[in-house]
Structure 1
Amino acid sequence: MFKNFNVPSRAELLAGISLASVMLGCSVQAHAQDVAAEQSSDAPASEDGIVVTGVRASLSSAQSIKRNSDVIVDSIVAEDIGKLPDRNVAEALQRITGIQVQRQYGEGSSVAIRGLTQVRTELNGRDIFTASGANQLNLEDIPSELLSGIDVYKNPSADLIEDQLSGTINFRTRKPFDFDGLKVAATATQSYFDLTDKFKPSASLMVSDRWDTGIGEIGILASVSFQKTAFRQDTISTEPFYTLDPTNATDAEVLASLGRTGQTTTLPHGTGIGEVYGDRRRLGTDVALQWRPSDTLELTAEVFRSDYKFRFDDYSFFAYSSGSAIIPQPGAAFTYADNGDFESGTFIDVPVGNNTSAQTRHSTTTDYSLNLKWKPVDNLTITADGQYVDAKTKNLRSIFGLNGVADTLYQDISGSVPVVNIGSETGLTNPATYTSAFYLDNLNESKASDKTARLDAEYRFDAGILSSIKAGFRYADRKNRTIDTGYRYTGLSGIPSELETVDLGDFFRGDADLFGNIIAFNRGIIRNYQNTLDTLGIASAPAYTQSGTNQQRQKTFTGYATAFFKADPIDGNIGVRVVRTNLDVSGYYQQTPIVLDENGNEVSGPTVFNPIAVSQDYTSVLPSLNLRVHLTDNLQLRFAAAKNISRPTFTQLNPSLTISEPGAAQQDQIHTASGGNPYLKPMKSDNLDATVEWYFSRTGSLTAAAFYKNIKNYIQTAVSYRDVTFDNGNSYEYEVTSYNNVAKGKVKGFELAYQQFFDFLPGPFDGLGMQANFTYVDSQAPSPATSGPVTNVPLELLSKYNYNIVGIYEKGGLSARVAYNWRSKYVVTTAGNGTGSLPVFNKPFGQLDASISYNVTPQFALALDGTNLTNTRRATYFGIDSRPRDVVVNDRRISLTARISY
């Protein structure tokens, strides 16, 4: 059952904020007498002559970055080498005010900043991305141990690279000149994942040194990180809902059988369960070389490589009538919500499906960079930077399916965990229950590259209001090419013998009321693609064809100028960035029919295709202004105004659309397809930001921020219905998911953040500390694909409320942290298949993580950390909460780490 702790009500949310406010008020009041005497410092590593390490040092460094930045920025600084607050980069980012995390199979994979997902990712201020048609890095690809810190820029300035609506995330790696000399650090971790019941190892090593030579000072750093994780995800799904139409003869008959004639009645068209097993492997390497031949010249060369492998295999079993009527059992008891939505009842003669599938992804991103800094005179700094990114991704999807008919289906969706009971006279573990079998496979590969060059110059003035002028040029040439076989359908002549009984006794941690065990295609076979083909008698993998290719190329030419000024108590900068974008995309519209092979089996036939090519050119002028007012030594205000753009991703621009005819075993399913829109325009935003920041100690601050974004050409998901006729004369209706530029969108909100160590408390309580933040985001945008009882929704993936509460204890060699993150409901997609275009919402949820570490010696530490300790269940629903969609559980993870540094 859902626990209130996992899904707080609004009253609980306000109570939590009130509690944090009380604690904040007490601590600030008690500490107020010390504030006036305490001065800010740019050297947060020491306090009153005492060396500060661990959590205090990391919070102090992050606070110093935020306080002294020319723009609005929040940071995370690693406590030690290889030690971000969380092992997953996205999970670490969720602790920052205004950031919300999207999770995939239990791990954070992407983030939204202030409710917007159009985020730019950078590595040391340069492009970084995953080859998949996205314009950014998949955050689960990168090992956290390679990073020294992460900066999140929330408002643009002219010297920052464009292409984001919400902010820029910059990942920082370490350099050899960061250390005084030889530095060696290593970690070894063993993690346990409780739902899948597996242990997985991780390790990292960094070696850095620097030397004075006859040609100047030289430093070399090499770092490697290896991570393995496992996961299991259990899901109970309710299939889409349909409201019975009394003017339709079939629906009228169903209403009469239910005794609901004249009453609004909505029935789900089935249910299903899924049990997914998988693992991830991350291998990251970073090699940096620095050379300082003189005090005025420094050269840095770096090669950063991320190698990520992801794999899962699963069982799924579902009873589903698709768009056809679902038949109530005569005389069975049914219950309904007040609005007529189904709550419980029994159906008969429902088609069932039984799938065993596998998916793999292998992504590599290699970043080669060269940076030169030269100071020909004291007041002038010239920086030249070159970069080449080579990224590749390979994907495989393999699905075996069985089809049959169940005698009865009983559902009760009134509780937090749906009850599902499916009955068959022959039994669900009997092959005789299934009448047909099929196989689907799809291969695709993406290759992307990026060549960039930039030249920047900054001149500093010795006196006057104008403190410096910075100007520069940038050229970038990014390419992406994807080849895709499309889904190949193979109808099987009979039910294979390679089936196994699946024990579902521990499904959903044993908390689900299910139908017992099932029989399914052997999971050990499906995990090996070639073995699957051999077992099913399929000669070879599907071939890549010309029509399965799509390409995108984007060139940008940029110039900017920024003036930095200071007139006490005000400082800031004003500038403009001008960007010319040249874009070319190409692909194919294709249709693939079903034909019969020489044995009379259904297979995918020859593809008919037509080429598509589209070009766009546009110029963007992006002014920006950043002001800061120093009210006192510890209190400052900021104001920022800027224009920005976010270009469509290559996936959104992909003009290709593949329509594959369904085979006989797929007739009862909804027919879907998805593609991009090559005519999408870039999104434009006018941004206003304001903050008030009080820094009352080196690790203590209270800040508030307000923001407003007026967005034009916002891109959202759209669903259209298309009747497709194939060359063999067969016609089907398809739900085609694509993207549109809606007219306008508005995002506004505010952030509150507080952190402090309670040093004024008597020992040992003076080691206590706290971080707390709260974000409110409100949005308005046209909803291009919603109807029925829901016609207005916020932007996708945006939670209106989000908060973090982190309790900290650090004293002596002991450090502990307990962190709770909560977010309110949000729209997963504005259009769900088969729902009459209802959006899908994710219910509110929270997650509790904790860690404890002890420094056995100054060079050796042990740490224990856990994630998802409260076994949070996540749930979605179709449009209104009386129509549930999915309920999901994931692993809890416990990790033990040994860390050595000298």
Structure 2
Amino acid sequence: MNNFANKRAANTADRAFPLSPVAAGCTVFLMALAGSAFAQEQQPATTGAATTATTADTTNNTPNSAVPPAEDATVSTTTTPVSTVRVTGIRRGIEAAISIKKNSTSIVEAISAEDIGKLPDQSVADSIARLPGVSAQRGRSSGKSSDISVRGLAPSFNGTLLNGREMASTGNARSPEFDLFPAELMGSVVIYKTPDASVIGQGLAATIDLRTVQPLDFGKRTVAVSYKKSQLGVKQRDGLPEGDGKRYTLSYIDQFANRTIGVAMGFTRYDELGGGQSKFNSWGTASMDYNGASVTVPNGFGYDTEQNNHKRDGAFASLQYRPNKNFKSTVDLFYSAGETGLKKTGFEGGVAGNGGGAYELPHVLTNATIANGVATSGTITNWKGVVRNHYEGAEDDLKTIGWNNELRFGDWTTMADLTWSKATKLGSRYETTAGTLPGQQDTLAFSGFNGANVTQVKYTPGLNYSDRNAVKLTDTMGWSGGAASPQAGYLGQPYVEDEVKAIRLTAKKAMEWGPLTATTYGFNYTARDKARSGQDGRLLVIGGDPNGFTDVPGTGVAPAGASGFNVVTWDPRGSLGTVYQLAPKVDADILNKFWDVKERISTAYLMGDLDGSVYGLPYRGNVGVQAIHTDQTGGGYQIDNGLCTGNTIETCPGKRVTDGEKYWDVLPSLNLSFDLGQDQMLRFGLAKVVSRANLDDLRAGSNVTLGNLQGVSILTSSGGNPHLKPFRAKALDLSYEKYFGNKGYVSAALFYKKLDTYIFRTSRFYDFADTITPGTSLPLTGEYAGSTIGRLTEPRNGSGGNIKGYELAVNLPFSMVSQYLDGFGILVNHSDTKSSIELPREGFANVTGNGISIPLPGLSRKVSNLRLYYEKNGFQVAAAARKRSSFLGQVSDYQDNTQLTFIKGETIVDLQASYEIQSGWLKGTSLFVQAQNMNNEPFLEFTDDESNPTNRVDYGRTYHFGASYKF
């Protein structure tokens, strides 16, 4: 009898336990390897009997839920006594993940708890970035992996769940940042590349389900502790300081009252001070007059030395009660709270361009050397430089509670699930400036310029900016308008609050009607409320007149990035009330960042489990449909810049506005897995999928100002769009998989997504007659003189386009080739993705360069992963590399806005080695060393030419040393 027929027979024999194939497969895996408590009670461990019974696992809301492997697992494949083989460490994690993938009716990728723990990874993002078709983007400031792209699509195209439930987030996107989830607290991660009707919160690219440990899935009490010491920013450029960190983890899993009660708890804490990072920002090139001719010179520059710090406490708890086989109640709690900070010491100035302030005179080029129209060296007079000492910090927390109750009676399995999730984030952005006083100028010499090498030019200011006698805290440039509105610094304190509440009801009935083995009926209601508010203000030197100044506190000096010279440095935290006073500031840009969004989403779904054959070819799968009703309301402010006579609430009034939209989506889905024999599978997926807009795109409100568009005076405005509809696509997937038991596999997959609608920012003509007031300044000259017609930039829905690609994966132990290679293995995968979609460049103000269009954000054409490992007799050694090609990424700018920037392709190499003591009183103790970014790969941004980066960040290497003990 084939595998599918075996599973079908088991289901028919016990109708009280109709379940998804993944849950069944995972349970078979657990019971075969570790033996459940029930199996242990029924027979001695020495019999080695295989168990094929299936148990339900709808507790965590998704039918294909992943179950972590039990401890001290043993493998047995027959009903006669055989020798047991202990599978541990990396290989156990690989086999658990393969079992999940193999037994799923959808196309999925998975990673298990053991594999997460054995990789040199600090967050879930690092771990899952090694899966086929998955890539991670490093944060510009921290260097940590925080955003995940699947199949070349931006992170916002993913749906992210925790134990099958949607979560709140602290960013503009719907899903939380992955660095909120310490790797040690996860039991497993499953990435659904094809959806089924029972998965709520789906994404267009994928649905990522993070799963904590469920205590009754374990066969015995387990306690684990670990300690890790880290060195960060090792061997960077420019001799910058190294950082260090500490990390503690405790996990406890137990069962009580004859295994009717299960408890799992985990806690992790880490405290890291990052190594110094050298950053350079170029303003590109420009032209200046020299002796009556126009010559090319650098436009401007910014050098920075940055050092970040991270503190985080993470905890989870799971309490399960299962008094009998027909009822189970589970409460899951997850908590993550942290502080992040980034200290910046830098120096900036213009060459052809100036700093944009009221106190800087027009620059003059002198003493220049000219070659082919390029000023290779020269001196700028009437020049002012700015020393920057900034601190950007945030405190965040995420709390999620889920309560699931499951009851079975007869052929029915019913489930009720409640979710509450809340996230908050309070930012604090201190910006301070130091330099010469108003009316005082400096000079700047530059050399080594060839017309393009903006990152290699040598700059030499005339003054010594590390001398506190020459450099003062003051309004150096007059950036806020000069004496009428002095600004010696700036303080921004944005606040984000997001709350998600949901209820889900499900009923599943086992049946035998042709190929239909079960039907599932469900309803989910989600209410989400998210808002962004805060306070901004100018910092004024206490007791000073408009040109007030004071000494830079302390005596510290530090290098300004790779500039080659030092500048004064100090920590501005706590300076409000001692050095500065705050002048609250309100203008159109600030009010436009304050918004709130309410969503009420009702989802009804119907799904049938399939098990049958076509022309003698066995298959299993599911078919279903979701009907989703969305009621969304966006709030914000409408600001007329023409009425702003200052930058206070009284002098720049904003009008509170709200608007919204209601709409339906109907999403059919079909998943089929065909058994080709000899452990071969052919999977087919067909579905309609959606990804909702980022929440800030749904805000109402806009600002209107009299602007200049290509030399023409015209009204301009930008804002959100509360009428925005989701990305919508039809998805087709095909995957061939050849398994070698649960030890390895090879696979090849094709995917195609036909986009019906997508979201992009664009500018269009708009009549502002209903928005402006009689006091609004209208164009006085040109073709729009006196006209209320202008240009509005907002997110909108486009139509058409496609995304397509292929994925290849190999996961094999070398023992399959030769017994002499036992312990060695390889995992390698590669994906190639193309898209016909190009977005208008004009909608993204910060994406500069040539051309009129940009690619789809997040799309890396090629993504590859390689991992080689050796594991035997307690020794584990592994080397891993992940590579992605250049892409248009998302970063957070200095104003906490999400921006797009081109990021050069990169390869990250990680290494690890460990030894676990196998016997004696120290059995279960492991010693390990790990290295991240061993090749010291920098983070590079560019405009059009990736060989000419405009921004470079060097993170250095990170080393971890530690020990763990498990019993």
Residue 622 of structure 1: which of 642, 662, 667 is its match? 667
Match of 1:691 in 2: 735
Match of 1:219 in 2: 262
Residue 309 of structure 2: which of 265, 276, 279 is its match? 279
Residue 494 of structure 1: which of 527, 544, 548 is its match? 548
Match of 2:63 in 1: none
Is 1:770 aligned to 2:826, yes or no? yes
Match of 1:517 in 2: 566
**Aligned mates of 1:692, 1:192 — CA distance in 2:** 43
SS of structure 1 residue aligned to 2:179: helix
**Aligned mates of 2:103, 2:171 — CA distance in 1:** 37
**Aligned mates of 2:933, 2:452 — CA distance in 1:** 22
SS of structure 1 residue aligned to 2:385: strand
SS of structure 2 residue aligned to 1:493: coil
SS of structure 2 residue aligned to 1:677: coil
C-alpha offsets along residues 766-790 of structure 1, whole Å, 9 cap, x if unaligned? Answer: 2111010001011122321258632
Q: CA deviation at 1:293?
A: 1.8
Q: CA deviation at 1:716?
A: 3.1
**Aligned mates of 2:698, 2:450 — CA distance in 1:** 39
Name the TM-score, length of structure 1 as normaliser. 0.82
C-alpha offsets along residues 409-445 of structure 1, whole Å, 9 cap, x if unaligned? Answer: 3464789892243333333334546784321111121
* Equivalent AA in structure 2 for residue 643 of structure 1: K
**Aligned mates of 2:106, 2:181 — CA distance in 1:** 26
Residue 69 of structure 1: which of 71, 85, 104 is its match? 104
Match of 2:336 in 1: 306
C-alpha offsets along residues 731-776 of structure 1, whole Å, 9 cap, x if unaligned? Answer: 99x9998533333332111111101111146676321110100010
* Equivalent AA in structure 1 for residue 807 of structure 2: E
RMSD across aligned C-alpha pairs, in angstroms?
3.9
* Equivalent AA in structure 2 for residue 485 of structure 1: Q
Is 1:706 aligned to 2:750, yes or no? yes
SS of structure 1 residue aligned to 2:841: coil
Q: CA deviation at 1:726?
A: 14
* Contact 1:317–1:355 (Cα < 8 Å) also in 2: yes
Q: CA deviation at 1:459?
A: 1.5
**Aligned mates of 1:409, 1:604 — CA distance in 2:** 44
**Aligned mates of 1:590, 1:229 — CA distance in 2:** 42
Residue 926 of structure 2: which of 848, 853, 861 is its match? 861
**Aligned mates of 2:87, 2:453 — CA distance in 1:** 47
**Aligned mates of 1:391, 1:125 — CA distance in 2:** 18
Unaligned runs of 5+ in 2: 1-49, 55-68, 77-82, 235-240, 357-361, 437-441, 477-487, 708-715, 781-789, 843-847
SS of structure 1 residue aligned to 2:153: coil
Is 1:289 aligned to 2:332, yes or no? no
Is 1:813 aligned to 2:869, yes or no? no
* Contact 1:334–1:346 (Cα < 8 Å) also in 2: no
Match of 2:865 in 1: 804
**Aligned mates of 1:613, 1:807 — CA distance in 2:** 55
**Aligned mates of 2:298, 2:533 — CA distance in 1:** 38
Deviation above 6 Å: which 4+ runs of structure 1?
Answer: 39-44, 323-326, 413-417, 540-548, 591-597, 602-605, 658-662, 719-732, 734-737, 829-833
Match of 1:444 in 2: 494
Match of 1:756 in 2: 812
* Contact 1:593–1:606 (Cα < 8 Å) also in 2: no
SS of structure 1 residue aligned to 2:677: coil
Match of 1:109 in 2: 146
SS of structure 1 residue aligned to 2:203: coil
Match of 1:248 in 2: none
- Compare 799-808 and 179-188 and name the one that shifted more: 179-188
Equivalent runs, 1:655-734 vs 2, <5 Å: 655-656=700-701, 675-718=719-762
C-alpha offsets along residues 32-78 of structure 1, whole Å, 9 cap, x if unaligned? Answer: xxxxxxx9999985267202111111101101111110111000102
* Contact 1:299–1:373 (Cα < 8 Å) also in 2: yes
Match of 1:233 in 2: 277
Equivalent runs, 1:582-621 vs 2, <5 Å: 582-590=631-639, 606-621=651-666
Q: CA deviation at 1:699?
A: 1.9
Seen in structure 2, the aligned counterparts of structure 1 residues 580 and 411 have a Cα distance that, compared at 3 Å, is farther
C-alpha offsets along residues 794-814 of structure 1, whole Å, 9 cap, x if unaligned? Answer: 211211011011111111100
Unaligned runs of 5+ in 1: 1-38, 245-250, 261-265, 337-341, 663-671
Q: CA deviation at 1:556?
A: 0.7
Residue 886 of structure 1: which of 951, 954, 966 is its match? 951
C-alpha offsets along residues 842-884 of structure 1, whole Å, 9 cap, x if unaligned? Answer: 2221111011111024411111111011111222221234653
SS of structure 2 residue aligned to 1:58: helix
SS of structure 2 residue aligned to 1:161: coil
* Equivalent AA in structure 1 for residue 455 of structure 2: P
Give the % identical residues: 24
Name the TM-score, length of structure 2 as normaliser. 0.77
Residue 641 of structure 1: which of 683, 686, 708 is its match? 686
**Aligned mates of 1:718, 1:534 — CA distance in 2:** 43
**Aligned mates of 2:947, 2:379 — CA distance in 1:** 19
Match of 1:175 in 2: 214
**Aligned mates of 2:517, 2:584 — CA distance in 1:** 64
C-alpha offsets along residues 492-543 of structure 1, whole Å, 9 cap, x if unaligned? Answer: 62332025676555x76xxx4x341123xx423x1x2xx2112333068779
* Equivalent AA in structure 2 for residue 779 of structure 1: S
Q: CA deviation at 1:130?
A: 1.7
* Contact 1:122–1:171 (Cα < 8 Å) also in 2: yes
Match of 2:525 in 1: 475
Q: CA deviation at 1:698?
A: 1.9
Seen in structure 2, the aligned counterparts of structure 1 residues 729 and 683 have a Cα distance that, compared at 3 Å, is closer
Is 1:899 aligned to 2:953, yes or no? no
Seen in structure 2, the aligned counterparts of structure 1 residues 487 and 630 have a Cα distance that, compared at 3 Å, is farther
Equivalent runs, 1:534-553 vs 2, <5 Å: 534-538=577-581, 549-553=594-598
Match of 1:461 in 2: 511
**How many residues align structurally?**
813
Match of 1:843 in 2: 904
**Aligned mates of 1:503, 1:414 — CA distance in 2:** 32
Equivalent runs, 1:325-404 vs 2, <5 Å: 328-329=365-366, 331-334=368-371, 345-346=377-378, 348-349=380-381, 350-377=383-410, 379-402=411-434
**Aligned mates of 2:576, 2:957 — CA distance in 1:** 35
**Aligned mates of 1:432, 1:661 — CA distance in 2:** 40
**Aligned mates of 1:186, 1:636 — CA distance in 2:** 40
Equivalent runs, 1:114-133 vs 2, <5 Å: 114-117=151-154, 118-133=157-172
* Contact 1:591–1:726 (Cα < 8 Å) also in 2: no
Q: CA deviation at 1:218?
A: 1.4
Q: CA deviation at 1:162?
A: 3.9
**Aligned mates of 2:705, 2:915 — CA distance in 1:** 58
Match of 1:31 in 2: none
**Aligned mates of 1:203, 1:160 — CA distance in 2:** 34
* Contact 1:878–1:884 (Cα < 8 Å) also in 2: yes
* Equivalent AA in structure 1 for residue 148 of structure 2: V
* Contact 2:494–2:532 (Cα < 8 Å) also in 1: yes
**Aligned mates of 2:148, 2:592 — CA distance in 1:** 34
Is 1:188 aligned to 2:227, yes or no? yes
* Contact 1:501–1:518 (Cα < 8 Å) also in 2: no
C-alpha offsets along residues 621-654 of structure 1, whole Å, 9 cap, x if unaligned? Answer: 0011111111113111111111111111212222
Is 1:202 aligned to 2:247, yes or no? yes
* Contact 2:320–2:330 (Cα < 8 Å) also in 1: yes
